[in-house]
Amino acid sequence: MSNTNPLLDVTGLTKHFPVMGGFPFKRKIGAVQAVDGLDFQVAEGESLGLVGESGCGKSTTGRLITRLLEPTGGKISYRGQDITHAGRKQLAPIRSEIQMIFQDPYASLNPRQTVGKIISGPMEINGINPPGGQENRVRELLETVGLNPEHYNRFPHEFSGGQRQRIGVARALALSPKLIVADEPVSALDVSIQAQVVNLLQDLQRDLGIAFVFIAHDLAIVRHFSQRVAVMYLGKIVEIANREDLYENPRHPYTRALLSAVPEATADDVPARERILLTGDVPSPLNPPSGCRFRTRCWKATEKCATEAPPLVQVEGNKDGHLTACHYPETTADLAVPAARKSL
């Protein structure tokens, strides 16, 4: 990706949710460090996958980018404009360009509104009357997402999960966005339907040049969709790289462990990737480990990992934006042999 004029430029993005307690007067007794100092860019028309286990801060990141949440720190620039703390008025023209698709196609559509009303909603709110009228545009959008335009007057409960997600996609397209944040858009769908919706999003990215931040807990889904992938762990990006580099040469032990859980078809003479089972739970973001946050589950951790947080830096010998945050990144030699695990 070109780093000149990214569509979205995020630096040091942080969101800490205050935790209140105490009696009789409630006061702040701590903070959930949901997102803690993220740096990444998204180029025009590019798809970035954001991957990690439940609770690592993916949805919070999506909501910060779309400014549904107010950041605690850091900076969000959209087309060179600082929108970190932009008010309603400054955000108005940008709101139409950045849209979100949600995980649950059942909860995200108003059951009392017709499909036509749901999809034209964003046009209505923004006072946009396209040439040919709103109804015409909605019918076009239904076709774009692979639904019959005759569905215009029907209600969400008349549709399957996959069809409902297509309606959600049509609504996101209504204002011709430049960037769509798709938050686990297929994880609530049957496996047989997931690929169809991913293919639809892929077509939109290619044909309409829309950039995507595609949030998923599953590296397998992101693999076919994203040109670049960022792996998150406990509020931090631990590795970010082009798709090929990330899947073929993971440098962070956590990425390697996540990838080892992705089923793969191998030829008879190629050994299957060794499965790395991480022990222990993800620590609480209320009180994350010192130094490297992954160290309590990492087979390579040393004293240094407990005292020094590793910065996200360029992988040695790689000039193409492959970054990792690890004091002891995996080497090509490491990847050839099973990970030696040790308890900490």
Ligand X SMILES: Nc1ncnc2c1ncn2[C@@H]1O[C@H](COP(=O)(O)OP(=O)(O)OP(=O)(O)O)[C@@H](O)[C@H]1O
Interacting residues with ligand X (CB under 6 A): 17, 32, 34, 52, 54-60, 217, 285
Q: How far is the CB of 72 from ligand X (least distance, A)?
A: 12
Q: How far is the CB of 104 from ligand X (least distance, A)?
A: 11
8 Å CB contact between 185 and 165 = yes
Cα distances (Å, whole numbers) of residue 155 to 162, 171, 175, 180? 14, 14, 21, 24
Q: How far is the CB of 307 from ligand X (least distance, A)?
A: 25
- Of 120 and 194, nearer to ligand X (C-beta) is 194
State how far the Cα of 339 lies from the Cα of 336, in Å rounded to an integer: 9
- Of 33 and 41, nearer to ligand X (C-beta) is 33
State how far the Cα of 163 lies from the Cα of 276, in Å rounded to an integer: 37
- Of 119 and 325, nearer to ligand X (C-beta) is 325
Q: How far is the CB of 19 from ligand X (least distance, A)?
A: 7
Q: How far is the CB of 59 from ligand X (least distance, A)?
A: 3
Q: How far is the CB of 35 from ligand X (least distance, A)?
A: 7
- Of 138 and 186, nearer to ligand X (C-beta) is 186
State how far the Cα of 324 lies from the Cα of 317, in Å rounded to an integer: 13
Burial of 57 (0-12, 13-18, 19+ CB in 10 A): buried
Cα torsion 254, 256, 257, 258 to 10°: value is: 90
- Of 58 and 151, nearer to ligand X (C-beta) is 58
Among the listed residues 159, 127, 125, the one whose alpha carbon sits nearest the alpha carbon of residue 142: 159
Among the listed residues 150, 172, 160, 58, the one whose alpha carbon sits nearest the alpha carbon of residue 106: 160
What are the residue ranges of helices labelled H in 182-318?
A: 191-208, 219-223, 243-248, 253-260, 303-307
Among the listed residues 24, 19, 17, 176, the one whose alpha carbon sits nearest the alpha carbon of residue 96: 176
- Of 6 and 57, nearer to ligand X (C-beta) is 57
- Of 49 and 285, nearer to ligand X (C-beta) is 285
Q: How far is the CB of 233 from ligand X (least distance, A)?
A: 10
